[in-house]
Chain A
Amino acid sequence: MSETMRPTPEAERLHRELEAVWGNPPGWRGRLSVVNHSTLGLRFMATGLVFFLLGGVLAMLIRTQLALPDQAFMSPEIYAQVTTMHGTVMMFLFAIPMLEGLAIYLIPKMIGTRDLVCPRLTAFGYWCYLFGGIILFSSLLLEMAPDSGWFMYTPLSSSEFAPGPGSDFWLLGITFVEISALAAGVEITVSILRTRAPGMALHRMPLFAWYILAMALMIVVGFPPLILGSVLLELERAAGMPFFTVAGGGDPILWQHLFWLFGHPEVYIIFLPAAGIVSTLIPVFAGRPIVGYGWVVAAIVITGFISFGLWVHHMFAVGIPQLAQAFFSAASMLVAVPTAIQVFVWLATLWLGKPRMTVPMLWVTGFLVIFVCGGLTGVMLALVPFNWQVHDTHFVVAHLHYVLVGGMFFPLVAGAYYWLPLVTGRMPSERLGRLGFWLTFLGFNLTFLIMHWTGLLGMPRRVYTYDSAMGWDLVNLISSLGGFMMAAGIAAVLVDLVLHGRYGRTAPRNPWGADTLEWSLSMPPASYNFASLPRVESRHPLWETPTLGDAIARGEGVRPGAAHGRRELLGGEALTGRVRELIHLPGNSLLPLYAALCLAVVCVSLLIRLYPLSLLGLAGAGVLLLRWSWENGGHRRAAPLGHDEPEDPPLHSRTADGPGRWTMEVALLADGAFFLALLFGWFYLWTVSPQWQMPARSPLSLLLLLASGAALTLGALWLERRVAALIRGREAGLVLALGGIAALGGLHVALLVVVLLDAGLAPTATAHDATLLVGLAYLLGHGGLAALLAALQAWRAGLGLVGARLPFEPGVVALLWRYQLGAYWILVAAMALLPRLTGGGP
């Protein structure tokens, strides 16, 4: 416990009890098995910081190269690799994981719970991020890095123009890292909706949690289109399926659509959590509640939606009709409205409060200045004629850095200075913090304000050098000097970050006078966060009850201690926060690490084209993930049935609507986004691709598809009936029924395999056949998983792990069956029925 607390004997007893259940195991093996959100959140952030420094070094190399004209510091090939990797590392390996790490660390503490709802998924996500990042970055050390730009436009990234393994490193590494982002997105969403402190209704939730909820849902919906694009491009590169090759009926513009369907929301995925930091800090340092809480919530929701309607503004130069350009131009201006709402809310809060200009506030002020400027150049770029004028120039580079560095990095450092005392129990240095801020702020503006000029003078992006006669010498030199000044500022912050843990003065309790629950904890917080769980009746619990932390530590809150020996959270209603069940969590395990290692084997073996090994790795990951899911519900390592079961509230595995159900629903939302992107790809190529070749007769047998669909439909309906009966307490014949359902699933898959074999597809010859193959593979994968899970449920029912007292799991599996049912018939209609009805052809 921290020295800032005054522990009573009761508090010490609770601490010992909880630490025995929640504590991290010792030793290397123990450290690798940790699933605690605080530890993993810090690991995410520390790893993100390393990648940030690597990406920063790449930025300095770029500025060194461009400082003077006609330099040969880097060859054109290396320069292309360095710029590609700088963008890739900063966007995928720093910005997103860093903010996820912050959310993973903070969210349970802010919403008054002990951990995230899927702790092993957190660990799995971390290992996927680490291994994916290492694989991707190793390409630079091997001088095989991708060199087609961080957006990997085809055909520049296709085999013809990028024959080396660089593009493969990008596609496989980024997909691996995105598994991590999706895992975090799913579990953060469910955690915020279902595990808030008793009484924390939606309208009392901290604004930071609203921002993170929006970010998580945007990851869930926004990342799958890029995953699909990466899969298709890798299939084109490795197997010759011509999705993006015009001669084969594909279209390179499809890649741009899939990339920017992800890429534009990505900007807001990065901005929203940072804005969440600002909305958290400003009220604290203004000493008053935020003005217009409801307005901010509305602005967050608006941003989350509208940001998905802007992607084509990155493609104004590809030649789409003016009317369509006008739609996207208007939508791009529209997104400025929610941002402006937030800016005015922040200004009004400062205006009406008594602001204290602390180091975190200094960084927030820097954010306000830089981000507003970046937003204004964004509105300029939304105008099509101006966009054409500065397209592909340094003006765009300057704009995006104003938005991303101003909109994400400055708030991040503000947040770091604000929450460091919570993490370490010590205060950072005021002097170093201010020095770091001014060097960074001035250096940044020197670099990028000037770069707007460079762009307006016509200097294109991604050229490795320039001629002195172009007149770009001075502006580039100033930008480079500014870049190094900014690097010095960041170095000062880093020095503070490293040294304050040892030399900083001990932080007093709640040093900034904050209102949110994380400041009621000991500093640094214990592994279980809260010795007893707080009851929340206000948006500002610590302003209402400054001594809340002491009461919680003494066990005066809800569900104190852990005498039962389980890791438990309170599960509540999404809207009201009213307690519904006790969620029991799995403990530390090496399974997430091993599963991620297997996926790393898949990734590396695909890179070196050792396909049998990749299949082996995939099978290994599948077995490990299923083993992980086996230790669940009533399993002896989870929460076996007993005589002294808690009943009010019950354990979640004894109900029909635990968090696993919500997790499955949110995961299927991501799956649905992938599926919709696939459907979009199919219809896009069909209608737009200049050389699309639709055969006169669909190669897919309608009769076999109907038979396969009938087996699936019967199985799904049967499963729904059994789930309903189980909830009513009827379990007779459950094993046989689940076995029968699994058999129907098996029949569905077997018939689908026959459809595939019967079709005689030529996926390397036409994009049409290649897309059909991907569609069928998608259905086969999901059908196989649905059948397998039903079979495992039958087995578990036989062992007494599923039944009337443990009715939870079949309902979760039924969701997958329901999803497969919908996806199957939609795909049959789109790929087999519609071409028959329209007679094919473009």
Chain B
Amino acid sequence: MNPLRRWLAPSHPAQLLLGLTLWSLWFVALYGGLSVACELAPPAPGQGVLTAINGALALLTLATLGLLGWLAWRGLRAGRGGVGGSRFIALTGAGLHLFSAAGVAFVGLPILALPPCL
């Protein structure tokens, strides 16, 4: 197995870090993207929530949610069939992916409610 496939296997310890790393990257993209967009092209204040910035951030959030959900499902499936250390890593990794997905959903909620640059 090549190193990348090995790292991505559900029973590899990297799975303990992958979900929250994705959460972190999403969070940095969210905050950084918002800040840069507000500096470069702030929408008119009257536009409210229906702006291109909110739309782009919502799409990014949905894509991240999908990826994390899939990773969690894969981990749960592998964990049920595993034993010992492999089972522990796969199930704990799946739990962390699920938490990361919940984190993305919770932190991303204000995108639906607040205008971006006020």
Chain A: residues with CB nearer than 8 A to chain B?
201-203, 294-295, 297-298, 301-302, 304-306, 308-309, 312, 321-324, 326-328, 330-331, 333-334, 337, 574-576, 687-688, 842
Contacts and interface: CB of A to CB of B under 8 A. Distances in A.
Given A305-B20, A321-B34, A334-B107, A327 B85 contact: no
A341 to B, nearest CB: 9
Nearest to A217: B17
Nearest to B87: A203
Contacts of B13: 202, 574-575
A309 B84 contact: no
Contacts of B21: 305
Contact of A688 (B24, B35, B103): B35
A325 to B, nearest CB: 9
Interface of A is mostly: helix
B53 to A, nearest CB: 9
Given A201-B85, A297-B92, A331 B107 contact: yes
Given A294-B91, A294-B92, A322-B114, A330 B109 contact: yes
Contacts of B27: 309, 327, 331
A334 B26 CA distance: 15
Interface in B80-118: 84-85, 88-89, 91-92, 95-96, 99, 103, 106-107, 109-111, 113-118
Interface residues of B, number: 38
9 contacts: A202-B85, A202-B88, A302-B99, A309-B23, A324-B31, A326-B113, A334-B106, A574-B13, A688-B39
A319 to B, nearest CB: 11
Interface of B: 12-13, 16-17, 20-21, 23-24, 27, 30-31, 34-36, 38-40, 84-85, 88-89, 91-92, 95-96, 99, 103, 106-107, 109-111, 113-118
A323 B20 contact: no
A323 B110 contact: yes
A321 B117 contact: yes
Contacts of B40: 687
A298 B85 CA distance: 15
A203 B109 contact: no
B16 A301 contact: yes
B85 A575 contact: yes
Contact of B107 (A308, A330, A574): A330
Nearest to B38: A321
B91 A576 contact: no
Given A321-B117, A330-B107, A301 B89 contact: no
A274 to B, nearest CB: 22
A687 B106 contact: no
Nearest to B49: A323
Given A306-B20, A309-B24, A331-B107, 16 more contacts: A201-B84, A202-B89, A203-B88, A294-B91, A295-B95, A298-B95, A304-B20, A306-B103, A323-B117, A326-B110, A328-B31, A331-B27, A334-B103, A334-B107, A574-B13, A688-B39
A552 B89 CA distance: 30
B79 to A, nearest CB: 10
B107 A203 contact: no
